[in-house]
Amino acid sequence: MSETQSKLGKARPPRVHITYDVEVGGAETQKELPLVIGVMGEFSDEKKPLRERRFVQIDKDNFNEVMQGMKPEIEMLVDNELNNDDGKLSVALRFNSIEDFAPENIALQVEPLKKLLELREQLSDLRNRTASNDRLKEQLAELLANQPSETKVDNVGEEAE
C-alpha cells in the first residue's frame, strides 16, 4: 500500500488530511475521509433537554455571528497577583467576537488590568515625547533626582498629563 498521508496541492491545505488506501476490484485507490468534529456542551443558561438541542454550524465566516447569538460570559474569582496580598479578584468576561479572546481585550474587561494598560500607554507616550525633546528629558531627570523613590512614579504620571 502507498503512503497514507499526502500533501494537497491547494493554496491553503487543510491542517488535517486523512486518506486511506482501499482495493476495489483488484485496483488500489485512495479515499479521503472528511474531518468532522462535533462538540456538545452546555454553553448557555438555557437548560434544554438533550433531545431538543441542535448542532450549530460554526466556521471562520460565521464565528462572530454565533458568538453574538450565544453571548457567552464567565464570572469567576481568581488569585489577585497584582497586589502582594493573598486576596481574590472578581472577574467577569464577555465574548462577542473572536477578537474578544485577544489578551489585550480580555485585560480591558478587568478594571485593575485596564488601569495598568492605560498607565502603560501613558508611559509609552511619555517615552516617545522625551525621545524627541531634550529639554523635557532634562526636566524629568532633574525631577526624578530630587524626589524620594515612592513619589517618583506618581509625579511622573501627573507631569505626563
What is the per-residue pLDDT across 51-64, written as a single tens digit (0 to 9) for each?
A: 888 888 888 889 99
3-class state of residue 18 by DSSP: strand
pLDDT tens digit sequence for 70-115: 888 899 999 998 887 788 989 999 999 999 999 999 999 999 999 9
**Among residues 66, 49, 48, which one has the least CA distance to residue 57?**
66
pLDDT at residue 83, as a whole number: 83
Query: Full-prediction pTM beyond 0.85?
Result: no
Q: What is d(CA 71, CA 115) in angstroms, rounded to the nearest whole number?
A: 25
Contact between residue 74 and residue 92 where contact means Cβ atoms under 8 Å apart: yes
Listed by start position, the domains of the chain span: 50-109, 117-160
pLDDT tens digit sequence for 132-159: 888 888 888 888 888 776 554 555 445 4
Q: What is d(CA 88, CA 91) in angstroms, rounded to the nearest whole number?
A: 9
